[in-house]
Structure 1
């Protein structure tokens, strides 16, 4: 074996070791985003608050493909208080849903259930105020359960399936393990964990933090 061949073998080995190290370093890591209070409107709800035929105006795209933050906001009204300038997210949905933190809920004077997004049966009543009208709902206000969006390829890599419950640990001075974290899998999703501001403040994290995922009760 000449010197050139030996050098090539060494370089290839070093590259493989570095690649394996990177994979191990990033194993089971998930980016975390903080979800502020927001509302999803049905088509009927949008027209009630903004007028017939109204279309949401996109302010910026969100991390999940096809989802966006709208320029429009509404006021959320509860028995004891109001939340002004609550951002609308698009596109419209089948049912109107408002997601707040438990701190927000106390200001409103309601006790919403902690639910997976879309599960609004027997949730808290809520009133929304828009520029063209008011919408009173007998259900629709929830505190969204923390969850992780995963593409199907991510789920395969993590060894989990849609509907699984996992733990997510974050480090730092206020290191925290988030139990009961729902896995949501779709070919339309991008890998990202969502927590609300109460949860983020508890763990002392900001947007862009990462957590380590493990199956509940099973070491990673």
Structure 2
């Protein structure tokens, strides 16, 4: 059991002991890149994507490979590729990071890439142009059983409260994403996490509205 899995287990035990069935673990999503197999082969010729660490969602992992994201006014170094490969390459940044490199990053759900800005991904061996730069809209992964327990369904926009040290933040318009393989976790980006003063053991609570 790695450190992140241990923290998640502790959060689950606390939630069960407190009797609060609305507790949702928080995953803070740092900038990262998803790539197609074709783009990966251009950036890392002759290599295979190798796992550095598993992510909470089954089958997903942070790879050993990193790239430089190049915008009109700057770069972001060592942006990690998440695996496995996807059907379309996608770059996920916080909006504050987009401003630093001259990119007006829209807030979108993953895969909703129509009309999104283009950046360059660069390594020492190659570069590719990717049309698909977004700030991921906050959302909650959950299993179908979790969705039934929480009384929500796919595509619902819910309200979530985050109780952190010296700050209480309520995020509205959080999108529900259930799937049989998903593990319960709310995803927010680094801008949102900083605004809510999220720490490593901070959890969220689904706000039930009358």
Q: TM-score under structure 2 normalisation? A: 0.89
Partner of 2:60: 67
CA distance in 1, matches of 2:36, 2:123: 14
CA distance in 1, matches of 2:197, 2:126: 39
Residue 22 of structure 1, CA deviation: 4.3
**Which runs of no fewer than 5 residues in structure 2 stay unpaired?**
1-14
2:30 to 33, 36, 44: 36
CA distance in 2, matches of 1:164, 1:207: 27
Structure whose CA Rg is larger: 1
CA contact (8 A) 2:25 2:203 kept: yes
CA contact (8 A) 1:33 1:209 kept: no
- What pairs with 1:126-141 in structure 2 (closer than 5 Å)? 126-137=119-130, 139-141=131-133
CA distance in 1, matches of 2:171, 2:73: 31
CA distance in 2, matches of 1:65, 1:206: 24
Q: TM-score under structure 1 normalisation? A: 0.85
CA distance in 2, matches of 1:126, 1:175: 35
Q: Is 1:81 aligned to 2:74, yes or no?
A: yes
Residue 136 of structure 1, CA deviation: 1.4
Could you give the per-residue CA deviations for residues 1-33 of structure 1, whole angstroms, max 9, x where no partner exists?
xxxxxxxxxxxxxxxxxxxx9476322110001
CA contact (8 A) 2:163 2:202 kept: no
Q: Is 1:146 aligned to 2:138, yes or no?
A: yes
Residue 55 of structure 1, CA deviation: 1.6
Aligned residues: 195
- Residue 22 to residue 91, structure 1, CA distance change in 2 (3 Å): closer
Q: Is 1:165 aligned to 2:157, yes or no?
A: yes
- Residue 22 to residue 192, structure 1, CA distance change in 2 (3 Å): closer
Segments of 4+ in structure 1 off by > 3 A?
A: 21-24
CA contact (8 A) 1:33 1:208 kept: no
CA distance in 1, matches of 2:29, 2:17: 28
Partner of 1:177: 170
Could you give the per-residue CA deviations for residues 56-114 of structure 1, whole angstroms, max 9, x where no partner exists?
11001000000000011000000000000001100000000000001110111110110
